[in-house]
Structure 1
């Protein structure tokens, strides 16, 4: 099979021929029909994730068809259309048994703990716990778009922050996660302010229903702008970037007793990131993490996608080949994109 391979930290990715993976016991091999290029993939390439062992194949947002089934798999067969959360539980622990596989202590993540989906084929473990059937009404790119950014935003707003009708949400960062959050929040009846340094990304946010936007940059007091636009601060905030300034702006833009959801990764490159804890304590703010969504919770989300109530396909800005993705990955932290970049391994 063809796959993108990264030999070492920050090494130039290359598309190579690799042996097709065997189906693991209890797992499957999926023929990848769509896979998203995400900022988390850049973090893995840059050496920010301790689970990655080089050389490795990146990629963790995927959808496709089952190509092979390993021993012990009960629920799945060759040819079925599937997707998978980017956090795959072990299927044996108390967290997996209770449907909370996203916090499984023995979790695996394609593209991090083992070779991922920037390839024609990918092996996935504990299939009966982690695989999700994709309805015929949902396209492969739409299903792949759910895998990390959309599903994480959905669970972050619905299950963690419990965002409700007419509340204000501020989203810092209008990439894949941020635009997903805008779409989901509008479906919930919330009012949305989006902050970004890219005017084109803000245009995309407004097209999806953002009521107000803030163009960030040097000298811009983002929390003050949010407070003014929302009449005292947002009820819920999301850092969809994964940057100390973005997290601080999101937290300082909350009203008293507000809820902050941290979705963007904050790698401790220069020590642990600083958080305005005096505001958190004084205003009794809630700080919430959101680490993907377990397979058990996907059917509700997929039903909304199949019905047209949510349209993750609208977030796909471009579709590229493996070769193009290999060129894009090293600079993806600086990419001027307003949506999701999707990879089709079948493209030449």
Structure 2
């Protein structure tokens, strides 16, 4: 099969012909129809993820059609349209048994622990636990856009933040994660304040449902949000993963507010300074969102079916696999407007 292959960290990937994946017992092989490219893939290419072993095929946001079914798989067949969470669970550990497969003790992550979806085919283990059936009304591109950014934002806003109508939600960073969080929070009836340093991205945030737009280059973000909301945001999301956005997200909260960390903090951004005096004085909550369980997808799919959220609107460029080489290298420049989607492989 054709795949994007990383042979050395921080060195230019290549498009190569590599062996097709073998179907695992209890798993399936998918023909990839669409796969997103996000900053997590860039972190992997940089060598920030200790799970990656070279040579490596990235890619963790994908949707496709089952091509082969392994032994022991009962509820899936060749030809089924499916997607998967970016964290695939074992289904049997104590964490999974508690319903929290997104932080499984024995995770399988295509694109990180195993070869991923920047290829014509990808293997998925533990199919009964991890596959999500796609309605015919949901395109492969829309499903792939759910994979990491949208689903993680959905869980962050809905399950962790418990956002409701009338609340204020601040979103720091208007890339794929941020735009997803904005769309979801707005659909729930919240007033959303979008923060970025790019006016172009702020324009996308407005289209996604943001009520107010703040440019971090020219504005004291915590002070502006405290004033706009008459006391601070109820929920604030660091959708970028930088020391500045993390600090600002916590500092802009009202009493009993919730900070949701979704943006990965790696490399030089690891170990941010936290305004712990505010956490104590305001009794703030600091929460993370690490993907979403396969069993939780129906609520999100229902909102898509009802037209309340439309993840495909957040897709920017659609590219060929070969174009992904340059796109992956450039991901940290933050030039893309919306999500990048690989939808052609031949």
TM-superposed deviation, 1:244: 0.9
Query: What's 1:83 paired with?
Result: 83
| 1:25 and 1:71 in contact (8 A); partners too | yes
Would the aligned equivalents of 1:239 and 1:263 in 2 still touch at CA under 8 Å?
yes
Which residue in 1 is equivalent to 2:159? 159
Range 14-23 or range 221-230, more displaced: 221-230
CA–CA separation in structure 2 for the residues paired with 1:270 and 1:137: 40
Matching residue of 2:46: 46
Q: Which residue of 2 aligns with 1:325?
A: 324
Q: Say whether residues 1:208 and 2:200 are aligned partners.
A: no
Post-superposition shift, 1:270?
Answer: 6.5
1:99 and 1:84 map into 2 onto residues whose CA distance is: 16
Structure 2 Cα separation of the partners of residues 341 and 76 of structure 1 = 29
**How large is the RMSD of aligned CA atoms in angstroms?**
1.2
TM-score normalized by structure 2?
0.97
What are the within-5 Å matches in structure 2 for residues 1-348 of structure 1?
1-217=1-217, 220-267=219-266, 269=268, 272-346=271-345, 348=346
Deviation at 1:269, TM superposition (A): 3.7
Q: d(CA) in 1 for partners of 2:278 and 2:257? A: 11
Cα shift readout 1:253-282 (whole Å, capped 9, x = no counterpart): 111111000000012547622222221122
Secondary structure of residue in 1 paired with 2:214: strand
How much does 1:94 deviate?
A: 2.4
Residue deviations 1:87-111 (CA, integer Å, cap 9, x gap):
0001221222333210111101110
Query: Measured at CA, do residues 92 and 55 of structure 1 come closer, stay the same or move farther in structure 2, by a change above 3 Å?
Result: same
Runs of 4+ in 1 over 3 A off after TM superposition: 268-271
Contact 1:198 1:336 in 2 (8 A): no
Distance (whole Å) between structure 1 residues aligned to residue 52 and residue 205 of structure 2: 33
CA contact (8 A) 1:48 1:269 kept: no
- Give the Cα separation in 2 of the matches to 1:188 and 1:102: 23
Determine the C-alpha separation between the residues in 1 that align with 2:282 and 2:306.
40
Name the CA distance, whole Å, in 1 between partners of 2:82 and 2:132: 5
Is the CA contact (8 Å cut-off) linking 1:96 and 1:129 kept in structure 2? no
Preserved contact between residue 247 and residue 272 of structure 2 (Cα < 8 Å): no
Separation in structure 2 between the aligned mates of residue 210 and residue 152 of structure 1, nearest angstrom = 19
Q: Is the 8 A contact 1:32 1:345 kept in 2?
A: no
CA deviation profile, 1:197-231 (whole Å, cap 9, x unmatched): 111110011112211011112x6311111112212
Q: 1:194, 1:210 within 8 Å by CA — same for their partners in 2?
A: yes
Secondary structure of the residue aligned to 1:92 is coil
Structure 1: gaps of 5 or more residues:
none
Contact 1:35 1:63 in 2 (8 A): yes
Q: TM-score, normalised by structure 1?
A: 0.97
User: Residues of 2 paired with 1:295 and 1:95: CA distance?
Assistant: 14
